[in-house]
Copies of this chain bind each other. A is one copy, B any other.
Amino acid sequence: MASNGFGQAFRVTTWGESHGPAIGCVIDGAPPRIPLGEADIQHDLDRRRPGQSRHTTQRREPDQVKILSGVFEGETTGTPIALVIENQDQRSKDYGEIKDRYRPGHADYTYDAKYGIRDYRGGGRSSARETAMRVAAGAVAKKVLARRLGNAFGVRGALVQVGPHRIDRSRWDWDEVDRNAFFSPDAQAAATWDGYLDEVRKSGSSAGAVIEVVASGIPAGLGEPVYGKLDTDLAAAMMSINAVKGVEIGDGFAAAGIPGHEAADEMRMDGDRPVFLSNHAGGILGGISTGQDVVVRFAVKPTSSILTPRRSIDRFGAEVDVLTKGRHDPCVGIRAVPVGEAMMACVLLDHLMRHEAQCGPLGSGG
């Protein structure tokens, strides 16, 4: 029911199939009088675009976004913002052979089980192409947040693991993220991954990844107990991204292994400002932001489209072997970095607006 949208106050609904005429989204609820142009959105789309490194799909599309409504004379009007990207490089022929076959790890079987029909071209609706519209919506959210929260605000993502290879957190350098093709904050890890992915591709296989997204400059007080918690909505937002199998906040699963006297973040005053002495909580307590960095990580499984033949069935019940040719990222997790950033921005803006609906202007509560 209305499952192709997310957010309450800042609501994004996406539509479109990988190989249909276009993909798009409608943003309902964006604040008025925010300067917005196609270039603002295009910048973020370009970060996600395929074909930028040897390790992302060679499908080359300009992914040129158009604003069809909700912006007038360079500013948002408060009415729905409709965004659309036409699909150009479709190459339907690549996909004909998997028309009736269920590719292991993909949603082919489950879409058929649910709907009794599916658009098999390039995965149809289940393709990661849908995430382009998340990035577009996130770009709008970031514009609004920047205006509301000022210069301290920022959302940044990084790849922290590829296959079994993790970064060394002591080498974390945000500036490095834009210097390599992996959004890696650790240059050495990027080098390791480069070699590893070459091997993986040569062997006809693929690799998973872990992404970390950090939001800074977030005021305390965002989030709504007990089912609309900030972490609840972040978990949902990240888990809804294709191929994601796990989400954690702050220490996440590691928190289960830490004793209680180490796990809780202590507080002190810094002049007249409360400060936390650590951030195990990832910036969220009781579902509400603490004023520290909000930290989320999510795990992406290896790309399911691989050149190694795998056992499967077709929709007529025959046993078959499936091998997926075509252009596929050996590690879809890489391009999930800007997607995770976008989802973080959308959730934060939605909660900022929800907070102000109930509690009034930010900072008036305490």
Give Cα A228–Cα B2 distance, bound, in whole angstroms: 8
Give Cα A170–Cα B259 distance, bound, in whole angstroms: 27
Judge whether A181 is part of the interface by a CB distance below 8 angstroms. Answer: no
Beyond A14-B226, A114-B365, is A246–B245 a contact (Cβ under 8 Å)?
Answer: no
Contact B236 A245 (CB under 8 A): no
Give Cα A164–Cα B236 distance, bound, in whole angstroms: 27
Among A21, A104, A359, which residue has the most Cβ atoms of chain B within 10 A? A104
Contact A113 B357 (CB under 8 A): no
A287 to chain B, nearest CB (A): 7
Contact B77 A32 (CB under 8 A): no
Contact B285 A110 (CB under 8 A): yes
Contact A310 B118 (CB under 8 A): no
Give Cα A301–Cα B284 distance, bound, in whole angstroms: 13
Contact flags A159-195 to B (C-beta < 8 A → 1, else 0)? 0010110000000000000000000000000000000
A85 to chain B, nearest CB (A): 11
Give Cα A50–Cα B335 distance, bound, in whole angstroms: 46
Give Cα A118–Cα B75 distance, bound, in whole angstroms: 10
Contact B239 A235 (CB under 8 A): yes
Contact B22 A104 (CB under 8 A): no
Beyond A107-B288, A246-B247, A317-B272, is A23–B69 a contact (Cβ under 8 Å)?
Answer: yes
Chain B positions within 8 Å of A247 at CB level: 235, 239, 246-248
Contact A358 B259 (CB under 8 A): no
Segment from A39-47, A57-65, A150-158, A250-258 that makes contact with B: A250-258
Chain B positions within 8 Å of A277 at CB level: 311
Contact B245 A163 (CB under 8 A): no
Beyond A77-B125, A221-B113, A311-B266, is A226–B240 a contact (Cβ under 8 Å)?
Answer: yes
Contact B358 A263 (CB under 8 A): no
Contact A105 B2 (CB under 8 A): no
Q: How many residues of A contact B (CB 8 A)?
A: 160
Judge whether A312 is part of the interface by a CB distance below 8 angstroms. Answer: yes
Contact A78 B1 (CB under 8 A): no
Contact A256 B208 (CB under 8 A): yes
Judge whether A56 is part of the interface by a CB distance below 8 angstroms. Answer: no
Contact flags A291-308 to B (C-beta < 8 A → 1, else 0)? 100000001111110101
A121 to chain B, nearest CB (A): 8
Contact among B31, B106, B115, B286 for A33, CB-based, below 8 A: B115
28 A-B contacts (beta carbon < 8 Å): A1-B358, A2-B5, A5-B5, A15-B80, A16-B82, A75-B117, A105-B260, A106-B264, A110-B286, A111-B288, A115-B359, A115-B365, A163-B257, A206-B261, A207-B260, A231-B239, A231-B245, A236-B239, A245-B248, A246-B247, A246-B249, A247-B248, A248-B299, A260-B302, A260-B330, A266-B312, A269-B317, A360-B361
Contact flags A316-329 to B (C-beta < 8 A → 1, else 0)? 01110000000000
Contact A112 B366 (CB under 8 A): yes
Contact A288 B357 (CB under 8 A): no
